[in-house]
């Protein structure tokens, strides 16, 4: 009976080994004949899995199922042994430390000095965030261009339309970093629907209104515009901003309102900035999360 079962297991294990050989062959052949992802991955996977199946069969039915027992002791050693090691360690330490207090202190001072000194190379890892973080290249008179550098004209944006724009001269593959903070959405809304604060009454001429496209929560681009409710929504964490009242947070985890860019329309119908961005762009940080003051500067360096 047991012998019969062993015979059976041998046949099964042999079968799986043959499958593995076959699958390996298919894998090698598919490299030459039909190199597609599915065939390559499946044949290689089957080869490995078949060897596994053979080994499982062997371990179940062909190998002796013995039981062994190892002794288990508490980790701690005999009391006298522990104490002798404690004495050794303490004694060794004492020979270093005792009677040379001034030398030890000097040693600690040297190690501290070295520790501080090796922090200095850290500074070379990158630029200071001062004068950069949260600031954009927008300033009065800078014209709006699209991703490809063409000027943004009022006729480009119908009512309910939306365009992503950048400051002229800061677009292209070499300006990815600038474009990531400068990006704005320009919307065209009905003037009578606007509820802007008094000091921003002139910021949206003829209903052309611009906001930073960078969410004030965690800097995802505000890719979703709901024309019905006139809201900009972030696809990352669903922060939602009202575009009619100056970018107030309507929903979601964002705290600061969306920075707004004052616009003006040039005589040739192109749009340009009428000033700086109304607030720092991007996520809150230690320095400007709490401040609502208007940045009177643009990016440096």
Partner 1 sequence: MIRKLVLYLDDHLGAAPFLRQALRKAFPDHWSFMLGELAAYCFIFLVLTGTYLTFFFQPSDAPVQYHGPIASLAGRWMTESYKSALDMSFDNKFALVMRQAHHWAADVFVAAICLHMGRIFFTGAYRKPRELNWYIGITLLMLAMAEGFTGYSLPGDNLSGAGLRIAVGIGQSIPVIGTWIIYLFFHDTFPSGFVSSRLYPLHILFLPMAIAALVTVHVMILWHQKHTQFPGHKQTEHNVVGSPLFPIYAVKSLALMFATFGVLFLMGGLLEINPVWEYGPYTPWVLSSPAQPDWYIGWLEGALRLAPRWAVRLGAHSIGAPFWPGIFMPLCLFVVLYAWPSIEYAFTRDKSDHQLLEFPWQNPGRVAFGVWVVFFVAILLGAGSDDVQAYLWHTPVQSIVWAYRAGVVVLPLLAAAFAYRICLELQARHGEDKPHRVLLRRSPEGGFEEERIATP
Residues 124-183 interacting with partner 1 (rule: CB under 8 A): 125-129, 132-133, 147, 164, 173-174, 176-177, 179-181, 183
* Edge-to-edge strands, sheet with 240-242: 224-226, 231-233, 240-242, 249-251
Closest CA relative to residue 47, chosen from 28, 19, 12, 11: 19
- Nearer to partner 1 among residue 129 and residue 269 (C-beta): 129
State whether the Cα torsion 54-56-61-65 is positive or negative.
Answer: positive
DSSP 8-state symbol, 259: P
Query: CB 60 → partner 1: shortest distance, Å?
Result: 9
- Binding to partner 1, residues 10-39 (CB under 8 A): 31, 35-39
- Binding to partner 1, residues 179-208 (CB under 8 A): 179-181, 183
- Nearer to partner 1 among residue 123 and residue 198 (C-beta): 123
**Among 1-9, 65-73, 188-196, 272-280, which window interacts with partner 1 (CB under 8 A)?**
65-73
The reply to whether 218 sits near partner 1 by the rule CB under 8 A is yes
Binder of partner 1 out of 77, 82, 87, 287 (CB under 8 A)? 287
Binder of partner 1 out of 64, 91, 115, 158 (CB under 8 A)? 64
The reply to whether 49 sits near partner 1 by the rule CB under 8 A is yes
For residues 232 and 147, give the distance between their C-alpha atoms in angstroms, rounded to a whole number. Answer: 20
- Binding to partner 1, residues 241-270 (CB under 8 A): 249, 251-256
Cα distances (Å, whole numbers) of residue 198 to 185, 201, 232, 256: 22, 5, 22, 19
Closest CA relative to residue 62, chosen from 14, 127, 26, 118: 14
């Amino acid at each position: 009976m047991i012998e019969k079962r062993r015979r059976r297991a041998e046949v099964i294990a042999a079968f799986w080994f043959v499958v593995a050989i076959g699958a390996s062959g298919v894998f090698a052949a598919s490299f030459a004949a039909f190199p597609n992802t599915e065939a390559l991955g499946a044949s290689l996977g089957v080869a490995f899995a078949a060897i596994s199946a053979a080994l499982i069969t062997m371990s179940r039915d062909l190998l002796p199922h013995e039981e062994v027992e190892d002794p288990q002791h508490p980790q701690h050693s005999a009391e006298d042994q522990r104490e002798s090691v404690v004495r050794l360690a303490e004694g060794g330490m004492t020979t270093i430390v005792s009677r040379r207090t001034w030398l030890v202190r000097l040693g600690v001072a040297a190690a501290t000095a070295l520790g501080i000194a090796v922090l200095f190379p850290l500074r070379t890892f990158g630029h200071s965030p001062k004068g950069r973080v949260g600031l954009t290249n927008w300033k009065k008179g800078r014209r709006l261009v699209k991703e490809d550098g063409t000027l943004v004209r009022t006729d480009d944006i119908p009512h309910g339309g939306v365009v992503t724009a950048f400051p002229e001269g800061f677009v292209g593959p070499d300006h990815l970093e600038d474009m990531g903070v400068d990006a704005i959405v320009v919307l065209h809304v009905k003037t009578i629907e606007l509820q802007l604060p008094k000091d921003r009454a002139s910021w949206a001429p003829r209903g052309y209104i611009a906001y930073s496209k960078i969410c004030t929560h965690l800097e995802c681009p505000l890719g979703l515009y709901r024309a019905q409710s006139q809201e900009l929504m972030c696809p990352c964490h669903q922060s939602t901003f009202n575009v009619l009242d100056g970018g107030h947070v309507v929903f979601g985890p964002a705290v600061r309102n969306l920075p707004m860019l004052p616009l003006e329309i040039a005589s040739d119908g192109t749009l340009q900035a009428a000033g700086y961005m109304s607030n720092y762009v991007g996520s809150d940080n230690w320095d400007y999360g709490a401040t609502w003051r208007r940045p009177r500067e643009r990016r440096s360096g």
